[in-house]
Structure 1
Amino acid sequence: MNHTFSLLFYLKKDTRSSSKKAPIHLRITVNGKRAEQSVKRSIEPERWDAKAGRVKGNKEDARTINSHLDTIQVKINRIHSKLEDSDSVITAKKIKDLYNDIDEKKKTILEVFRYHNEMVKQQVGKDFALGTYKRFETTLKHVEEFIQHQYKLDDMFLNEIRFQFVTDLEFYLKTVKECNHNSTLKYIRNFRKIINLAVKNEWMDRDPFMKYQVKLKETKRGFLDKEELERLENKELGVERLDQVRDVFVFCCYTGLSYADIEKLSPKDISKGIDGEHWIFTERTKTGTDSNIPLLPKALEIIEKYENNPAVLNSDSILPIISNQKMNAYLKELATICEIDKHITFHMARHTFATTVTLTNGVSIETVSSMLGHKNIRTTQIYAKVVQRKVSDDMLKLKGLLTEQPKKAVNQ
């Protein structure tokens, strides 16, 4: 059957990336009907030879892209020849579909990453928190920028990912992105989940993480001590916005709730417990685990203070909640007003509950772990170490004082 057939590589200039590059597309035309798709490569428009359908010059990235286009052209021509030899009906879509079947297993890392993130997005509020989805999106952005930075490519096939890719990504996050050690490893951990997904689906021949080993560094958990907490509670502020932020923060110091948990807390989450007292019965946003907390008098006092507050009456909240970003900005201001020489963030309230309010006052670590909604008691043991360190520091100061006293007595 007679037909016309042509193959063209061209730039799609109306969809340039932030790097001012334009994506290269493939156009297959049979009998005047077209089928198009991206070849997952891009280049600056001024470096593109439209007549030749190739990148100009002899730079390394030009040679790499042109070689990739040559490979695609050979495959498309081979598919077209096979269809001709078999006397099949030939269409542009059929050639394109057959080409993609040839490359079915050659999925790209960003393609799989976006596939994974879309699945997470659809389960937000069910199996995943919104924060989890956002963290994977941030990791995707970092990996995409790393591929551009390191390889000058828009994407890479999964089987091109090797051990060095992982170690170079770690170095990039620490140097170019200036992430600290633990933040870097959290991004790497997210990336590893994508690789695990690809390995399980047999989209990859090997796991580049097989020999990759690195540990998180233990970090100090900031918290307010008893004197600082009392100073914050008792300070006369005279400014409504600061007063409300202080009260919400202090409430979380006495309940251990995170920002995400207090934000969604509603009156229906508070009811009488087995002891006849008021409890919070909720599920942690981050992990989905139960967190059941008896309400201490200070926490109840704050709830009662805001029972008739317009922001509470017009919502399903028990306290007037503003954005986490604004909370942290106002907490910085409160630290200055209260002369607390610490960088206070909202999450410090949770640490203060675990250390100053509970463990320091003899509450068992098992009970604290249950109230915090930890899946593993080892997570709670971090706070126990903080308390032990505080006891150790205090005792060292005491030893110093006791050592100095005999010296003064002798001198006198």
Structure 2
Amino acid sequence: MNLSYYLETRSGHDAKKPTPITLFVRCRVNVGGNSKTQTVKLSTGKKIVAKYWDSEGQRIKPSYTGATELNSWLTTKKSAADKLLLLAGINNEELTSTRIKEIVRPLFVGSSIVEDSALSVWDVYEIFIETRSTQMVNSTIQKYKTNLSHLKEFSKEYKYPITFETLDHKFLERFVTYLIKEKKHINNTIEKSVTILKTFLNWATDHEYNTKLAFRKFKHVKEQVDIVYLTDDELQRLYKLDLTGKEALQKVRDVFCFGCYTGQRFSDIAKISREQIKGNTWNVITKKTKDIIEVPLNRYALEILEKYKGDEKPLPVISNQRTNEHLKTICKDAKIDELIPVTKFRGAEKIEGVKSKYDLIGTHTARRTFVTLWLEKGGRPETCMEITGHKNYKDFKKYIKITSKVMRVEMDNIFGSTPVMKAV
């Protein structure tokens, strides 16, 4: 069986006008003991001007506004038709042209060039993910896919029908309950899930798939998280740690320290090339925001680059996961083992514990270390934001650890050095 899309062109048709997109179903059937190929044509309800149609790929060309959404819709429908026809075959149904139309036609009922009422929330979410996959980093796309998976699991387990009409506050309460009781998620993880869901629903509304606006008042409590960063002394210990004979750990340490001395995301450090380095400046094209940032390289960053000048790449970066695993070992060896109280909330339940600092350190710690040490040493926030690429203070603040040292530096900068008072 073969399913293909074609434009339904006719003699004398105006090529400048939209042309119907038709699904052709070709399959072999047994007629009177003889095998025969039959072709069934079904209207999709969609139209496109011929110049935007890729006949070889059976897709809308990227130059057409809305191509990603429409291509995803066509793919979803063809996949569904294929599965339904395969199931009919497994059940030994006789696939006559009439029966094929009965099976497939409901998939396209109600479809038009602007009307997508037949699409389910799942269909639209898949279109959303495909659209964003060309614009966002893989880690963000994975979060969208995980969110969709949680929604489907919730719908199945709680027998809650998911439509745009049912995504109201009653839904939110049950969904949060599910994430707490079944997934054991803490409040901050739940807050991220709700935020991702709102991002999708805002997109669906903007693209006219959804008209229900109850979701705009969705919110969940977010707990304050203590920022983990390396002190200046800890960073120096790590930078100078003797890792002779441990080449893999040494490379991970160097890449991490480079992040601490430049303030850039691990994803951008992983993509660094020699063409981006001009003298003492690293011209970063950020993977997340596509911005171009000029990062002045200090002596520590330059020393690290010098160490690998003979290699093909400027830095020996390995995967994020493996880097995080090695970092815990390296930081433990560097005696970065301060005990840190950790408090989390799962709903109203308070979860307390204590962890060694090296267990809390990951690639994200480097960026937080850069920002905090910059402020501790009296650097201006606006200059730091230029280097890190933060566009607003709200996002920048997430990386700040306002230590007593930061407050002392700023106090002295404004009013002059404070003399040490003698005990009375």
TM-score (norm 2): 0.64
Structure 1 residue aligned with 2:367, among 319, 327, 350? 350
Q: Which moved more, 1:245-254 or 1:174-183?
A: 174-183
Contact residue 166 and residue 208 of structure 1 kept, 8 A: no
Contact residue 181 and residue 216 of structure 1 kept, 8 A: yes
Contact residue 167 and residue 215 of structure 2 kept, 8 A: no
Change in Cα spacing, 1:233 to 1:211, as seen in structure 2 (3 Å) is: closer
Q: Which residue of 2 aligns with 1:85?
A: none
Contact residue 368 and residue 380 of structure 1 kept, 8 A: no
Cα distance in 2 for residues equivalent to 1:139 and 1:93: 35
Q: Deviations over 1:269-295 (max 9, x none)?
A: 1114xxxxx111112222223322100
- Residue 93 (str. 1) matches residue 107 (str. 2): no
Contact residue 253 and residue 327 of structure 2 kept, 8 A: yes
Unpaired runs of at least 5, structure 2: 1-30, 32-37, 43-77, 82-90, 92-96, 338-356, 410-419
Structure 2 residue aligned with 1:254, among 261, 271, 276? 261
Change in Cα spacing, 1:90 to 1:287, as seen in structure 2 (3 Å) is: same
1:380 positional shift: 2.3
- Secondary structure at 1:159 match in 2: coil
Runs of 4+ in 1 over 6 A off after TM superposition: 31-39
Letter in 2 for 1:345: G
Cα distance in 2 for residues equivalent to 1:141 and 1:322: 29
Contact residue 289 and residue 374 of structure 1 kept, 8 A: no
Contact residue 108 and residue 118 of structure 2 kept, 8 A: no
Q: Deviations over 1:348-397 (max 9, x none)?
A: 111111112x211111100100100112133223445x234555699xxx
Contact residue 376 and residue 406 of structure 2 kept, 8 A: no
Structure 1 residue aligned with 2:320, among 298, 319, 324? 324
Q: Deviations over 1:126-182 (max 9, x none)?
A: x322222122111111111111121177xx333233221123222322332222222
Cα distance in 2 for residues equivalent to 1:37 and 1:365: 52
Q: Which moved more, 1:239-248 or 1:199-208?
A: 199-208
Change in Cα spacing, 1:109 to 1:229, as seen in structure 2 (3 Å) is: same
Q: Which residue of 2 aligns with 1:128?
A: 136
Cα distance in 2 for residues equivalent to 1:180 and 1:291: 35
Structure 2 residue aligned with 1:138, among 143, 146, 150? 146
Trace 1:97-116 onto structure 2 (pairs within 5 A): 97=105, 100-102=108-110, 105-116=117-128
Q: Which residue of 2 aligns with 1:410?
A: none
- Residue 291 (str. 1) matches residue 297 (str. 2): no
Letter in 2 for 1:120: R
Unpaired runs of at least 5, structure 1: 1-30, 40-49, 51-88, 273-277, 395-400, 407-412
Q: Which residue of 2 aligns with 1:377?
A: 393
1:96 positional shift: 4.8
Q: Which residue of 2 aligns with 1:366?
A: 382
Change in Cα spacing, 1:305 to 1:95, as seen in structure 2 (3 Å) is: closer
Name the structure with the higher helix share.
1
Aligned residues: 307
Contact residue 243 and residue 250 of structure 2 kept, 8 A: yes
Cα distance in 2 for residues equivalent to 1:245 and 1:169: 40
Give the number of the structure whose alpha-carbon radius of gyration is greater. Answer: 1
Structure 1 residue aligned with 2:402, among 387, 400, 409? 387
- Secondary structure at 2:180 match in 1: helix
Change in Cα spacing, 1:245 to 1:377, as seen in structure 2 (3 Å) is: same
Q: Deviations over 1:38-67 (max 9, x none)?
A: 79xxxxxxxxxx9xxxxxxxxxxxxxxxxx
Cα distance in 2 for residues equivalent to 1:383 and 1:152: 38
1:109 positional shift: 1.4
Letter in 1 for 2:129: N
Structure 2 residue aligned with 1:119, among 116, 131, 146? 131
